[in-house]
Structure 1
């Protein structure tokens, strides 16, 4: 999926006043509210689990329905997040070009859009997948909006640790879409994503810690030194890699998955320890280079779940 940024400079007000947004501008603004890049990552942990649950290729219609329902649900949660956080988004460099801070879309219109997406996702999953998957999707949506966005994000340094639970649900939804029930296998994959989220998010927060400090969002890199944050990243990374290896005995996978998990885990741990070593010498971004770990974390999760999908095809 190609992501088109609806917040490009062409849509900003010029020196003579605000420019009139075109129909395409508005459409792309609504697309941007759903955070397509986040959706891509969530679907990446949904579809491979469906392959693993089916021990092969799942029915195409079921995959399509799950992807559509999951996309609508994740998009709905992101829209609600954008509506609630529009005040701080307007002040942060990373987010001030979003549709709401730039007044391309009104909060009321965005709220209606989010509700419509949420209702459609629930209908699609309930009718064409199964009720359990629909319930899990609604639960993930509600957790992200009410627990993370409204309760935790602006109050505690543990915001993304516990708030990140919402991003773990796709593993459960992918499994239940095929089997209609839960088991230890998706719970292990749920835990992998849970322990992956802090290193992934804290690396990004190190890069934008001044933004978070400006709006009083207590991300860990805002209230703790880079050295402390990097140590936490190392700890979570080790637990994540150990958890990923649990899938081998729990699910009786073939050899492909544990080999890939070990190799990817070793690379990830090397990146995490590298960040920690650099953090011991300086807090400067030019020295820390936290985005190296951030991009590596995306690659790690992507390839690990690709291995989850391919392993049963070979086993």
Structure 2
């Protein structure tokens, strides 16, 4: 099968280099597009599958700190969706439904029938849309710092929110994010922003009927306050567990990987959400909302 010029261009990037992660770095080709991803090198044979879905304009690289902490317990995948990071581009891959279908195509390609999905920022509506179209293929959803909707409109407001968030993130985040944003490009940014803010995230969230964890950063300027989140979450009584991570901003997967991985483990095993006593004094996790039909915590 002959490759398109775009696909051939991305083949050049397969030259050996020093791995950026303890996860195995791999490539696959889906519908003629080269897709880069990371995977647990030696997952347990009976491990549950967990895929991490990145945010707006970024690759999966900034998700690695949390994904690496979970990779020995879960069969972990961290893809760069088509159009992002090191993966090839597709002209039709710049709205939320397209990215949800691309996630399903990636899991198909890897032979994965069901998985739990962990997303940050834009990755959260992608997961919600995936669950809408493929409800039998998702076990649990972890939505970290969900983005999109009215609170991030118009574009100048979102830019202002991002500018306030930047100094709240670790400085090393810029070394990861800036190259990704430059590669993603201005035209793609404008188009995807419109799609993201027009996506009916709340409506889709309330339709979910799977265990869902929402993790919010106390210092995240891209999200409304916890009281508004509680008000929204209380509109459903079946599935949503909302926790607030003290001291965190938007990119929790990068800035607080140990704490986030801890919360995800507890959620996956239906354990009470509690802080680890070994955490620094300025980091705590608080439960904001628990749907009455959410699976009850199991005591040790």
Higher helix share: 1
Higher relative contact order at CA 8 Å, sep ≥6: structure 1 or structure 2?
1
Structure with the bigger percentage of strand: 2
Q: Is the radius of gyration larger for structure 1 or structure 2?
A: 1
TM over 0.5: no
